[in-house]
Structure 1
Amino acid sequence: MTRVLLADDHEMVRAGFRIILGSQPDLKVVGEAATGAEALARAAELEPDVICMDVQMPDMDGLEATRRIVADKSNTSAVLILTTFDRDDYLFEALRAGASGFLLKNSTPEQLIDAVRVVAAGDALLSPAVTRRVIERFGAQPDADAAEAPASLASLTDRESEVLQLVAQGMSNAEIATSLYVGEATVKSHVSKVLQKLGLRDRIQAVVWAYENRVAVPRA
């Protein structure tokens, strides 16, 4: 059973999400919050598997709440950002804050259900469209602005570095497996080791990290 916390300042929105998620036998809404501050308190109290987090809320916005939740090492909740605003500044701030997914509120009920399941499984909801925007944003930065490669990069094996490059290009584990002529289980193992060595939470952070540190090369 995946336990979900809903954080949104509109009661009708929370009610809709509660109905959609409650219709699934493997999903259970265990609490709600109307402000960012309440989301922090409820996350600590309930320890949900997934927090569906709005961006614009009173007291504290969802991005700051996400940042604090992810920074709390005792909290293992994954955060799925849900917003009506398809804006790059929200997207990149959400990724930097440590969100495990970003979904627009005009998505279908099926997409919401799938998103919750994906982040609950420890994966990241990184759609091709979002990946392209990350690549365009960070890939467009001039090389002159690049900082020296971080020391942690040296801890990766050649194969792990290769996998990081492919993850940063938005490739799925299946696509990486095909590209490298290995099994998906092997790719998953490499991805896990990359995240562990670089101190990253999930592949979304890996994408942002790779571009911010200029170790990824966009595909043509």
Structure 2
Amino acid sequence: MIRVLLADDQALVRGALAALLDLEPDITVIAEAGNGEEALAAAREHQPDVCLLDIEMPGLDGIAATQRLRAECPAARVLIVTTFGRGGYVRRALEAGAHGFVVKDTPARELAEAVRRIHAGVRVIDPALAAELLATGNNPLSPREQEVLRHALGGDVVSAIARRVHLTEGTVRNHLSAAIGKTGAATRAEAARIAQHNGWL
């Protein structure tokens, strides 16, 4: 049996995925979690073969949880199952150590097959996302540019961003200006939206 851990902050989605996977004769859901921290605790306790993680969860998101899972439970393989099918998310998930990436509207039979393939050591990426990944290219933003854009996305003004990231206002303006140029945006708010849409934040 392939032992699976499910982590998704939406209980209804999590329950539906668990019910679908439990119908498979060779797959059993051994634990469920509502966020990344719970997923890590459950993985340490239950030692699953495959972890299905959503990306956007409160607290520790799916990408950060993947990175920690790979360090703390190296035998477990990670399949990202998310609504957010963006090329940048795929790249970040793979860099964090995920073995696969599919979207939630994947048919149940294909999801089960993805779990089997991940368990067998095969990398699985939704074909449409793989194409988008190639089209989107690498994340052009530096870590600092990503950090200031995350705050800009929340509507923070330059002085507030500077306080939060412990930089001068001038340095924050420089990072925002560079990010605007790299994304081809007209404003920092637009740059933040473009970066988020591409999965760069």
Q: TM-score range by the shorter chain?
A: 0.5 to 0.7
Answer yes or no: is the 8 Å Cα contact 1:44–1:75 preserved in 2. no
The residue that corresponds to 2:70 in the other structure is 70
Quote the residue 2:115 is aligned against: 116
Q: Percent identity?
A: 42
Q: TM-score scaled by structure 2?
A: 0.65
Aligned match of 1:2: 2
Q: TM-score, normalised by structure 1?
A: 0.59
SS in 2 for 1:116: helix
Structure 2 CA distance for aligned equivalents of residues 129 and 17 of structure 1: 21
Q: Give the 4+ runs in structure 1 shifted more than 2 A.
A: 126-139
- 1:7/1:34 contact within 8 Å kept: yes
Say if 2:49 and 2:119, in contact at 8 Å, map to a contact too: yes
Secondary structure of the equivalent of 1:43?
A: helix
Using the TM superposition, give the Cα deviation of residue 22 of structure 1 relative to its aligned residue in structure 2, in angstroms.
0.5
- How big is the shift at 1:138? 4.6
C-alpha contact (below 8 Å) 2:88/2:136 kept by paired residues: no
| Contact 1:4 1:50 survives alignment (8 Å) | yes
Deviation track 1:10-31 (CA, whole Å, cap 9, x = no partner) reads: 1111110111100011000000
SS in 2 for 1:81: strand
Match for residue 19 of structure 1? 19
Per-residue CA distance 1:29-75 (angstroms, 9 max, x = gap) = 00001010011111111110000100011121010000111123x53
User: Please, what is the CA RMSD of the aligned residues?
Assistant: 1.9
Q: Distance in 1 between matches of 2:58 and 2:101?
A: 20
Match of 1:125 in 2: 124
| Displacement of 1:128 | 4.0
Instruction: Provide the residue aligned with 1:94 in structure 2.
Output: 93
Write the letter of the residue equivalent to 1:8: D
Query: 1 CA distance for matches of 2:135 and 2:70?
Result: 26
C-alpha distance in structure 2 between counterparts of 1:85 and 1:127, whole Å: 12
What runs of 5+ residues in structure 2 fail to find an aligned partner?
A: 141-201
